Chain A
Amino acid sequence: MPGAWLLADAKDPHRNGVLKTMTHILLRNRDIADIWQFDTYVANGGYDALKRAVNDLSPDEVIQIVSAANLRGRGGAGFPTGRKWSFIPKDAPVKYVTVNADESEPGTFKDRELLEKNPHQVIEGALIAAYAIQATAVYIYCRGEFWDLALALEERIEEARQANLAGEDILGSGWSCPVYVHLGAGAYICGEESALLNSVQGVLGQPRVRPPFPAQVGGGLYYAPTVVNNVETLANAPWIILNGADAYKAIGTPESPGPKIFCMSGHVERPGNYELPLGITFRELIYDQAGGIPNGKKLKGILPSGASGPVLRATEEVLDAPLTYESVAALGSTLGSASFILMDEDTDMVWAAAKMTHFFRHESCGKCTPCREGTYWLDTIYERILRGEGTARDLELLEKVPQQIMGLVLCALGDFACNPVLSTVRQFRDEYEQYIGLAEPVAAEA
């Protein structure tokens, strides 16, 4: 219920007392045990939003409401969803909604819970988006490892179809929109929207040159205009339609309204998903909600958006900063998909950065030169440093090579790959220097 939610107040986002009493908008499975079942979902107001949209609202009105709510994309970039929908040309005969369920950012596991435990809300959200742009089909692109989930999801879609909520002539409106599940083959890059579209089309999962953008003719799925939205983004849509933009904007901060699922992992007492309004502080999230750092250790580093965002050193300034897209960016990182990987004082940051670099080398699609060669190069440097053979030249390269990648690549993966390297080299240089020292001859004790 909206009343139970923390109301936004940018000036004073510290409302610990209220936070504890909130219920869930997205993770409703936490409140209602078997909401994954169609009947339970419907009994709890499920698909009312879709019915309202299809029966009472025009597609433009739906876009208007979502725009007014300032729902920002939860996949990482935080792009306003309503605007994304409004880019779709109205006169295109074929249009698609593609749900990005290729949740492969390290430390992210929110979409999985949504699809597993509250799948109808995602389907409903996708159909609302489809209605808003008058799409001819919805594709839910699941990462390859979600095969079990994809099978279950197909059953859920069938339930919705049988209730005339998906498929032909939805709710007697004359608008038809089948929903399909597409299983990827397991590639991080397929979470990038244009690579995802390629993957759905059955071609190699590599990003496309933009423009044309997915919303434009020639840029989307099968080259038709396409909206690509994250699972969590779409799960917000039903609530917004039912409760209105103002109620939604009352949650969180004006620039970053609404609830957000924070995925907590790493050195944290209670790992897991936390649905909280945007605008709470790092400290509230980490210490009050997730129970702080185990064994009374100190927090050293925070990865606020999985492996792809820069590491933040856990200073007091950082801990007191609110979690909004803007404020995290101001700290020099990104909120991204809000997948927090916490690292305590005993963590070897060089090792951590090496792991992340290895991940990006493994996941680089190889299409464009700087990312393909650069991630390989960085990884070989880390391997050498971890072997204890690193030199000062290697440390210098770790600063220089990323600069040859950032901004010169086709998609964001190349930039992501540089973040852990640059941020750790800059903020934890002392640890690198300890490794570099290993190669130097040890001076004999005097």
Chain B
Amino acid sequence: MTETITIIIDGQDYQVPRGMNLVDAAKMHGVDIPVFCHHPKLEPVGMCRMCLVELGSLAVNRETGQPERDENGQPVVRWFPKLQTACTQEASPGMAVRTDSAAVAQARYNVLEFLLTSHPLDCPICDKGGECPLQELTMAYGPGQSRFIYDDKMHLAKQIPLGDLICLDRERCIQCARCIRFCDEIVGDEVLAFHERGRRLQIITISDPPFDTKFSGNTTDICPVGALTTVDFRFGARPWELDEVASICPHCPVGCNISASTRLDRDFGGRKMIKRIMPRQNEAVNEIWICDKGRFGHHHSRSEERLTQPMIRRDEEWVPITWETAYREIAAQLARHGRESGFLAGASLSNEDLWELRKLARLTHADCSLGVWPATMGGIEQVTQVGVGVGTRLQDLGPDSAILVIASDLDEEAPIWWLQVKQAADRGAKVVAANGRATKLDQYATVALRYPYGEAVAALNSFAVIARRSNAIDEAFVAARAEGFAEFDASLKGARVPKPYAEAAQALLGAKDLVVFVGGEGVTLAQHGELMQAAANLLILTGHAGRANNGLIPVWPGANMQGALDMGFGPQATHDLIAQRPAMWIIAEADPVAEDARMAEVLVGAEFVALATQFMTPTAEKAHVLLPVQSFAEREGTFTNGLRRVQRFYMAQTPLEGTLPAWKVFAHISSSMPGGAKPRIAPGLVMRDITQHVLRYAEMSYPNLAHVEPQFPLVGGEDMYYGGTAYSNHGGLGVQWATNAEKEKYSLAVRPVDVARPRLDGLAVVPVRLLYDREPLFAPSSIMHQRVPAPYVELNVRDAEALGIAEGDAVMLTADDVQMAAEARVNSHAPAGTVLVPQRLGATPIPATLVECVVQKMEG
């Protein structure tokens, strides 16, 4: 930690970290220095002048070097003649500040009076009214009356759509530039700017499409007035009517802590509904940011399309049945099929759901396969060994850190991780972005490494080769912990490393901290295991394991893939199941039919398929019994994020009548089986079972997960300088489980990886993930529809020329048994010989990774 120094605030001595921003340092000790433009996550600019304080320094006697003292023995302070902005000062020894003098009070009063001269004072209808820093600070420090003539107010445009998600009110804007600075400094998307000058200074969007960033919603949180509001929430409720419910975003492996602002609402039949999603501070996960998918993608929980009635298929007709009938039917089928039953869990089930599903499977037969969907990424062994250390905070990665992102487009798959990696790069961390194609991270990367798709394992393995050759191996760590080093070392000898790989590897070596993000793009499941092992090899070899800010982060698909793997579900089991074609299936919160062309036929061939789902998906159409389960918003549970942090979410919305949480459904089925126990009554009790049976979850009791500690910077408190009332985290910070690397007793396996590159003839399909797609949990958020493109495939210019395909042509892609129609995008984004196919844009499944395909132009 940084050195602690003493500064004097209002005559009191305070201990603060050296170099800390003075506003934050004062706030840390409960001294308010009000601000508008300053934000602890942004660079100070000193624009609003609200934080003016009297600043001075302790007078030091030049001869003795001792602080001078007056006749009363008090230290003498030399004050600046003018007030200074506190936000542009860094705490330094001998600094003295007065925040309570008449001059300071007058300055605050003046600034507020000035700000209000232009303000429309439409608080009664303003979405920010009630949680507005300008309101709060005016009440605390401002004038009760204005000397400004109301008729002289400058009238400016209101309700300007700044993109399709955010609305700008020019009259309310106080030109603090927080929104511009957030986009420029933190996101790096230069989409907002100031236009004009003086009193006409105003925010405009300079991108096309307007406000083109995935993080636009955050600007409404940090806006200190109601100038930026979201179209989604517009006039939805007054802030004081809202109950904040802690939750976890169900859309990606980051596991952003969110706060669901809820209220009873006529729009939802007088029941409690989510009016908006706000970020909740968790400095180890999402800090105070969330992406627009998380913010605006909450509509599925109360969609009209939700299933609310258990149903059974009789003569191709769906017949409503009671839950009891459904339980008995499924229990009877399970008893009948026994080990001929397959279990498939989706990546958005909670840990409790997964545990009860697993219990049900074990009750059915000890050998039942527990598959996970999507089954594209494995590597739980490697995560268990060298996953990032407990206490990792991506925001701590800095100049002496290195980050490798391989086979993932973080920007689309896990936007907040992308944001944090980008910021780490800004702070000087070495970033290697390795993928088969260009991604947005490239522009911030130290090295943007392009490898041919299929060669990811070889590329990553060569990093270990280079580490070996350049003596970057942590000998002591390897000697103490590594297992199988000799054999692995032998495999490295004589390996040929292309120059680009070597250069990329060099950029990473020598860093104090190393984090490796491993995705699954362009990698088959078999290769993915090898890729994870290659990453583990590198981390173990260089000693970057077993401590915070070091280790492996898998970029899983879905919010709780980590939890599914922890509960014993696995991707290989899924492939086994597809091969074995069991007669009986229990599928939970997964839509394999929409994603895999084989699955429709597999399920049609099955005798009995029970599906727990929220929507009538293509898979549901192949099922025999449908179990309407609840969304993340309607129940309690836990998700485990990609950093293995188990986090609680709470019940935000009145459950739809007729639905049940998945864990309860599975528990009831179990209890209908011979030998089944009575269901638990609450998810906390299910978690207690988990803590007793799953070793790594031993610490994950609900009280532990709900534990909160003060976090810095202090945002979201009563004073509300920083906007975002929902920032306060009362729901828990979550707990990470420790990897083997962190426990001395375990040795860590290194082994040679299979670097063989699959033979690719013709055009190979590379499925890619897009943030904005049509997956069932996101599709009901109609506000986002304009961001979701029609199904398309990306072709390299050269391939397209050879096939006679031009940009915008309708094409038919054929591979194996898959046929999909899409629009062609011709560019140099897709490497020659590959077709990039975004997942979940259309209704039809897309081909699997790296299969050969034919693309034909469709006539007419």
* A–B proximity contact (CB within 8 A): yes
Q: Which residues of A contact B (CB under 8 A)?
A: 187, 189, 204-205, 209, 361-370, 372-377, 380, 384, 393, 397, 404, 407-410
For B201, the chain A residues whose CB sits under 8 A away are 365-367, 372
Q: In this complex, which of B83, B118, B198, B201 has the most chain A Cβ atoms within 10 angstroms of its Cβ?
A: B198
A367 to B49, CA, bound (A): 10
A289 to B687, CA, bound (A): 94
A284 to B255, CA, bound (A): 78
Q: Across the interface, do A364 and B197 meet the contact criterion of CB distance under 8 Å?
A: yes
Tell me the smallest distance from the CB of A227 to a CB of chain B, in Å: 23
Q: Number of B residues whose C-beta is below 8 Å from A?
A: 36
A190 to B91, CA, bound (A): 31
Tell me the smallest distance from the CB of A360 to a CB of chain B, in Å: 9
Give me the 10 closest cross-chain CB pairs, A-B, nearest first: A366-B201, A373-B114, A404-B110, A364-B198, A376-B199, A380-B152, A209-B46, A366-B198, A407-B82, A209-B88
B115 contacts partner chain A, Cβ-Cβ < 8 Å: yes
Tell me the smallest distance from the CB of A374 to a CB of chain B, in Å: 6
Q: Across the interface, do A408 and B148 meet the contact criterion of CB distance under 8 Å?
A: no
For A362, the chain B residues whose CB sits under 8 A away are 198
A384 to B147, CA, bound (A): 14
For B199, the chain A residues whose CB sits under 8 A away are 361, 364, 366, 372-373, 375-376
For A204, the chain B residues whose CB sits under 8 A away are 193-194
- Beyond A204-B193, A376-B118, whether A408 also contacts B198 by CB under 8 A is no
Residue of A nearest to B48 (CB): A369
Tell me the smallest distance from the CB of B684 to a CB of chain A, in Å: 50
B377 contacts partner chain A, Cβ-Cβ < 8 Å: no
A369 to B111, CA, bound (A): 7
Contacts A/B (CB < 8 Å), 27 sampled? A209-B45, A209-B46, A209-B88, A361-B198, A362-B198, A363-B198, A364-B197, A366-B194, A366-B201, A368-B46, A368-B47, A368-B49, A369-B47, A369-B49, A370-B110, A370-B111, A372-B199, A373-B115, A373-B118, A373-B199, A375-B199, A376-B118, A376-B154, A376-B199, A397-B147, A408-B107, A410-B46
For A205, the chain B residues whose CB sits under 8 A away are 197
Residue of A nearest to B87 (CB): A209
Q: Which residues of B contact A (CB under 8 A)?
A: 36, 44-50, 52, 82-83, 85, 88, 107, 110-111, 113-115, 117-118, 147-149, 152, 154, 174-175, 193-194, 196-201
Tell me the smallest distance from the CB of B348 to a CB of chain A, in Å: 44
Q: Across the interface, do A408 and B200 meet the contact criterion of CB distance under 8 Å?
A: no
Q: Across the interface, do B175 and A377 meet the contact criterion of CB distance under 8 Å?
A: no
For B46, the chain A residues whose CB sits under 8 A away are 209, 368, 410
For A380, the chain B residues whose CB sits under 8 A away are 149, 152
For A410, the chain B residues whose CB sits under 8 A away are 46-47, 49
Q: Across the interface, do A365 and B49 meet the contact criterion of CB distance under 8 Å?
A: no
- Beyond A364-B198, A365-B198, whether A408 also contacts B110 by CB under 8 A is yes
For B148, the chain A residues whose CB sits under 8 A away are 377
Q: Across the interface, do A373 and B88 meet the contact criterion of CB distance under 8 Å?
A: no
- Beyond A369-B115, A370-B114, A410-B46, whether A376 also contacts B198 by CB under 8 A is yes
Residue of B nearest to A209 (CB): B46
A384 to B46, CA, bound (A): 32
Residue of B nearest to A363 (CB): B198
Q: In this complex, which of A372, A373, A376, A407 has the most chain B Cβ atoms within 10 angstroms of its Cβ?
A: A373
For A375, the chain B residues whose CB sits under 8 A away are 198-199
8 Å CB contact of B113 from A189, A384, A404, A407: A404
For A409, the chain B residues whose CB sits under 8 A away are 49
Residue of A nearest to B85 (CB): A209
A365 to B44, CA, bound (A): 18
A321 to B200, CA, bound (A): 42
For A189, the chain B residues whose CB sits under 8 A away are 197
Q: In this complex, which of B36, B45, B46, B110 has the most chain A Cβ atoms within 10 angstroms of its Cβ?
A: B110
8 Å CB contact of A374 from B47, B88, B114: B114
Q: Across the interface, do A366 and B175 meet the contact criterion of CB distance under 8 Å?
A: yes
Tell me the smallest distance from the CB of A219 to a CB of chain B, in Å: 12
Residue of A nearest to B43 (CB): A209
A408 to B104, CA, bound (A): 10
Residue of A nearest to B44 (CB): A209
Residue of B nearest to A376 (CB): B199
A187 to B175, CA, bound (A): 19
Q: Across the interface, do B147 and A368 meet the contact criterion of CB distance under 8 Å?
A: no
Residue of B nearest to A404 (CB): B110
Q: Across the interface, do B197 and A408 meet the contact criterion of CB distance under 8 Å?
A: no
Tell me the smallest distance from the CB of B257 to a CB of chain A, in Å: 33
For A365, the chain B residues whose CB sits under 8 A away are 197-198, 201
Tell me the smallest distance from the CB of B192 to a CB of chain A, in Å: 12
For A363, the chain B residues whose CB sits under 8 A away are 197-198
For B52, the chain A residues whose CB sits under 8 A away are 408
A364 to B85, CA, bound (A): 20
Tell me the smallest distance from the CB of B150 to a CB of chain A, in Å: 11
Q: Across the interface, do A369 and B114 meet the contact criterion of CB distance under 8 Å?
A: yes
Q: Across the interface, do B48 and A368 meet the contact criterion of CB distance under 8 Å?
A: yes
A190 to B48, CA, bound (A): 20
